[in-house]
Structure 1
Amino acid sequence: MHRALQIDEIVGIICAQTARAGPSDWWAGLPTQQYPSRCGDLARLARTCTAFLDPALDALWGFQGTLLHLLRAMPSDLWEIIEIPWEEDEDAANDSGSREENMRLTISLRRTVRPSDWDRFTFYARRVRSFKDGHVHDETSVVYDILTSQFPNGTVFPRIEILDWFPIALELFHHIHLFLSHGITGLHISLDNTADSAIFDLLTTQFPGLKNVGIGGTVAERPFSRFICSLKELETLVAPKLDSTAFNHISRLPRLRYLWLMSKTPPRLPPRPKDLPCFPALAEFRCESIEAAPNLLERTGRSLVEFSLPARSWASPPTKQIFQELYAALASSCTHTLLEKIHVDKPSRALPINAAQLDLYILSGDDLRKLFCFRNLVHVSLAHSVAVDLDDVVAIDMARAWPRIEVLWFPCDTTYRIASRMTLEGVYAFAEHCPLLEDLSVLFDATTVPKSTGTLGGKTQPRVSQDKLAFLDVGYSMIGTKKKDWRRVADFLRSIFPELYEVRATKPGSSVDPYVLKEYKAWMKVSDDLA
C-alpha cells in the first residue's frame, strides 16, 4: 500500500470526496444524497482493507434520508417491511432517484426487541452526520415508538450535525427529541402549531451553537424571535417571521451569509443601528415581500452577491412603479462590483390584470437602466407582471453593461401579448458584447432579418459570432411564417450563435388567433433547423 494511504486524514478526504460527488446541502456543503454507483464505490472501498473500513463507512452512512437502511441492518426476523409501488404517477416514480422513493412502505414489528438487536443499528447510526426525514413511508409511528421506549442510547445519531425534520403527520413531530444531539449545527424544521413554543424553549436552552437554521410553517412570533436572539453563531437563516428585536439582532451577526425572510407581510423594522454596519457578511438575501424589499435592501444590501424575490405570497400583480422602486433600491443599496445574481420570480398562477390598465404594469427598457451599474452580473432573471418593452438601443446598452452575463431571462406573461420593439439587431448585441452568455430568454421582432454583415466606422465587416449560447427562449416573439422567412431567421441565428441548438417558444392555447399558432410552428422549425 502506498505510504500516503496509511495517513488517516488522506483516506478520510478520499472517502469524503467520493460521497460528495452527488448534490450538496445548500447550507453546509454536506451531501444530501448519494448516487447508487457512489454507494457501491464506498462499500467496495470499506471491504478492501481495515485501513479503509471506518472512513469509507463514515462516508457511506454520513447522510441518511430514511431510517429504512438502519432497520434492515437489524436481525431479519425483527421487522416486516412491505414495499408497495406508488401507482398514481408511474412516470414520476421512474424518474426519481432511489428505489425507496418509488415505494410506499408499511413497517410493523414481528417480535419483541432484544438488547442485542440494536448492535448493528448503533454501529452504523453513530456514523450518521446528516439526517433528513424523507417522507418515504407513511406508517412510521411504530418505529418511532420503539425507538422512544427501547433504544438504549437516547439519541439515535450521537454525531449528527444537520437535521431536516418534516414528519408526514404532525403528531409525530414530538419524536424530534430522538435526533437532537448537542453536536447539531444545522436544523431545518416545519411547524404548524402556533401555540406550541416548547420546541423553541428547548432549542434556546440546549442548542445555542446552531449555525444554520430553517423554520417553515406557522410559528408564534415571540418565542421564535426569542430563540433567534439566543443564537450568536448564525451563518444561514430561513425565517417565517421576526420581530424588530430579532431583526436587529441578526443584523449585527458577523457571520450571517444567507437570509431568507418568508413573511408575506413587511416586517417591523427597528431603528437603523449607527454603531455597527448592518449585515456585514450577508451574501445572499431572499425576500418574499416585494413591498418591503426596498427598505430591507437599505439594511441588507451592502455586501450582497445574490438577491432573490420569490413570488409565492403575492396576492396581486406588482405595478411597474413597485418594480421601479425595487430596482432603484438595488442600485442605491448594493455594492456595484459585488452583486452577481438578481432573480425576481413569477407567481405560479396568473394574477388578473385589467386589460385597460396594462400601461401600469408594462416596464420600459429605460426602467432597467438603473441596473446597468452592476458590471459583474452573471445571472439575471426578471419576471414582470406582463413584460418589459425593450428596444434595440436598450438591448445594446444592456449587453455592453453586462459583459460577464451567463444567464439572462425576461419571461413574459402569455395572457397579454405585447409587440416587442426589439429586433434581431438587439439580439446580435448579446453576441457582440456578451461572450459568456449561455441562456437567453427575451421577446423580439424577427419579421425583419438583418444582413450578415455589420457596419463599424463606415466600413462593412462580417458580424461577430459567439460560441457559448446554447438555449434561446423567444416566448411569443413575432416571426414570418413562410418557409423563406423562418429559414432566414435560422441562418442569421446560426451565423451569430454557431453553438445554438435549441430554440424554445411559448405554445399558444387553442383559442388564440390562428396566425399566432403559425408563428409558434415557425419557431419550432427554426429550432429543428438549428439542431
Structure 2
Amino acid sequence: MAQLASPHALYISEILFAISYHLADDKKTLARLARCCHAFSEPALSVLWSSVRSFSPFIPLLPPTVKLLWDHGQFDEVTLAEFQCPPEEEWRVFDSYARRVRRLNSGSCHQTVARIRSGTTSFPLLRSLSLQLAEPLDVQGHLFSDSLRSLKISGPAYVHCKDDRVQMAIAQVARDAPLVEYLHIEDYTYSVAQSSLPPLNFAHLRAVEISAFFDYSLLQSLCHILSEAPVTQLKVELPPLPNKEWNISTPVFPALTSLQICGNPASAERFVFHLTSVGLQELSIHHTRGPASAADYRQLLSLVADKYSDTLQQLSLSLSQSPTPNYPYDLSQAVLDDFYALAPRFSRLETLHLSLPHNRYVHLAPEPTVESPTWPSLKLLDF
C-alpha cells in the first residue's frame, strides 16, 4: 500500500503558525497538535507556551536536585545559600520550554530559580511579566530579561514591609531590562522603608501605572527614581494627603501628556502642583475616597487652569457619591459654578466629561451646552 504524502501546506511554516495562533485559546487542541505530527510540533508548542499564568508548569521540568527543594519545601536562607546550582545540561528541558514564553505571571518560585541560577536569565525572550515580590530580590540574580517591554510589580501582600524591595526591583529592571516601555507598580504595604536610589535610566519608558495602598514616602521615592524617564502616560492612585510636605526637588514627569488620578482633590492638587510637564493634554481626576470640600475642588481647578489651560484637550472630573457629610448636590453645584468661571480659559479643550452626584429634586443650573460661547473648541460633552 502506498504511503500517503503529507499535504503541501504542512511544509509552509507560516500556515502552521497561523493555524496555531487561531487556536491560542484552545490549549487542549494545541497540545494534541503538538503530539500528532512533527510538522505541527514546533508552532503548536510555541503558541501553547507563549503565555503562562504561573510558574507551576515549569516545576516538573526543573533539574532533579532543584525540584527536590519544592517537594520538601526547603526555601530557607541557609539551604539556598549552600545549594549548588546544577550544571547547564540539566536545565536543557527547562530551557527548551522557557525560551518559548513571551508572557508570564509569576511569584516566589521564579525568584528562587533566578537566585539559584544567578548567572542565567530563566526566560530569555520574555516580553511581558507580572511578578509579586514575595521576598527581597537577589542583587546578583537576573530575574528580568533584556527583551522585556511590559512589567507589573506587586509588593508583598502584608501590611508592613521593612525593606525597599519594590524600589530595588525597579533598579534591577533599569539594569537588566532598559528597553521596558510599560511599568505597573502595585503595593499593599502601608509603611515601607525609604530608598536612597538616584534617578534611574529608563530611556524607553512611556507608560506608568501606580496603584497601591501606601503612604506618600513610597510614592515620593518612586517619582524620584523615575524622574528622568520620558513618561508620557501616567495613572496613579494617590494616598490621603499627609501632614508633611512633598519633599522632591527633582523635576517630576517632565514629558507627561496624559494623567489619570484616583484620589481626593486635595491630594490631586498637590500632585499636579509638583508636575513639571508643560504640555499636559489629557487629565482625568476620579474622587474615590476621603473627604472633600468645595474649596479643595476650587484650588484644584484653579491650578489646572493656571498650568494647562493652553494645552489641555481632554478633561474628566468624577465626584464620589458621598464626598462630604453634607448633601452631595450642594458640592456638585459649587464645583459646577467654579468650573464655569474658569471654562473660558481652556481654549483648546475638545472633550469634557463631568460626573457629579446630585439630588433628583434639585436642578443643577446652568447646564453646559456645546453651542455655548464658553466652550470655543469643545467637540464632545458628557455630563
TM bin (shorter chain): 0.5 to 0.7
TM-score, length-scaled by structure 2: 0.62
Identify the residue that residue 97 of structure 2 maps to in structure 1.
124
Q: Does 1:331 align with 2:302?
A: no
Distance 1:48 1:325, change over 3 A: farther
Asked if the contact 1:130/1:161 (under 8 Å) is kept, the reply is: yes
Matched residue count: 333
Identify the residue that residue 63 of structure 1 maps to in structure 2.
51
1:308 is paired with a residue whose SS is strand
Report the alpha carbon displacement of residue 292 of structure 1 after superposing the two structures with TM.
3.5
One-letter identity of the residue aligned with 1:376: E
Distance 1:158 1:282, change over 3 A: same
One-letter identity of the residue aligned with 2:202: K
Question: Structure 2: how far apart are the matches of 1:376 and 1:17?
Answer: 40
**1:356-375 matched pairs, under 5 angstroms:** 359=330, 362-363=333-334, 365-369=336-340, 370-371=342-343, 373=346, 375=349
Asked if the contact 1:46/1:52 (under 8 Å) is kept, the reply is: yes
- TM-superposition CA deviations, 1:427-469 (whole Å, max 9, x none): xxxxxxxxxxxxxxxxxxxxxxxxxxxxxxxxxxxxxxxxxxx
Question: Structure 2: how far apart are the matches of 1:290 and 1:15?
Answer: 51
Identify the residue that residue 284 of structure 1 maps to in structure 2.
259
* Higher relative contact order structure (alpha carbons within 8 Å, sequence separation ≥ 6): 2
**1:52-131 matched pairs, under 5 angstroms:** 53-70=41-58, 120-131=93-104
Question: Structure 2: how far apart are the matches of 1:235 and 1:220?
Answer: 26
**1:288-307 matched pairs, under 5 angstroms:** 288-298=263-273, 299=275, 302-307=278-283
Question: Structure 2: how far apart are the matches of 1:371 and 1:11?
Answer: 57
Distance 1:205 1:301, change over 3 A: closer
Question: Structure 2: how far apart are the matches of 1:152 and 1:11?
Answer: 36
Q: Which has the larger radius of gyration?
A: 1
How large is the RMSD of aligned CA atoms in angstroms?
Answer: 5.2
Report the alpha carbon displacement of residue 255 of structure 1 after superposing the two structures with TM.
4.1
Distance 1:246 1:353, change over 3 A: closer
Identify the residue that residue 77 of structure 2 maps to in structure 1.
none
One-letter identity of the residue aligned with 2:367: V
TM-score, length-scaled by structure 1: 0.47
Question: Which of 222, 234, 244 in structure 1 is aligned with 2:194?
Answer: 222
Identify the residue that residue 202 of structure 2 maps to in structure 1.
232
Question: Structure 1: how far apart are the matches of 2:305 and 2:50?
Answer: 43
Q: Does 1:308 align with 2:284?
A: yes
Report the alpha carbon displacement of residue 291 of structure 1 after superposing the two structures with TM.
0.9
Distance 1:15 1:165, change over 3 A: farther
One-letter identity of the residue aligned with 1:353: P
Question: Structure 2: how far apart are the matches of 1:269 and 1:196?
Answer: 21
Gaps of 5+ in 1: 20-33, 80-106, 135-140, 410-531
- TM-superposition CA deviations, 1:140-174 (whole Å, max 9, x none): x8x7799589889965433334332237xxxx435
Gaps of 5+ in 2: 1-7, 73-85
**1:126-525 matched pairs, under 5 angstroms:** 126-133=99-106, 156-166=122-132, 172-173=134-135, 180-183=143-146, 184-185=148-149, 186-191=151-156, 192-197=159-164, 200-201=167-168, 203-204=170-171, 207-208=174-175, 209=178, 210-213=180-183, 214-218=185-189, 220=192, 222-223=194-195, 226=197, 229-233=199-203, 234-239=205-210, 240=214, 241=216, 247=223, 250-260=226-236, 262-265=238-241, 268=246, 270=248, 279-298=254-273, 299=275, 302-312=278-288, 314-316=289-291, 318-334=292-308, 339-344=313-318, 346=320, 350=322, 353-354=325-326, 359=330, 362-363=333-334, 365-369=336-340, 370-371=342-343, 373=346, 375-377=349-351, 380-384=353-357, 389-391=363-365, 393-397=366-370, 401=375, 402-405=378-381, 408=382
Question: Structure 1: how far apart are the matches of 2:272 and 2:115?
Answer: 49
Asked if the contact 2:284/2:316 (under 8 Å) is kept, the reply is: yes
Distance 1:375 1:257, change over 3 A: closer
Distance 1:248 1:376, change over 3 A: same
Q: Percent identity?
A: 17
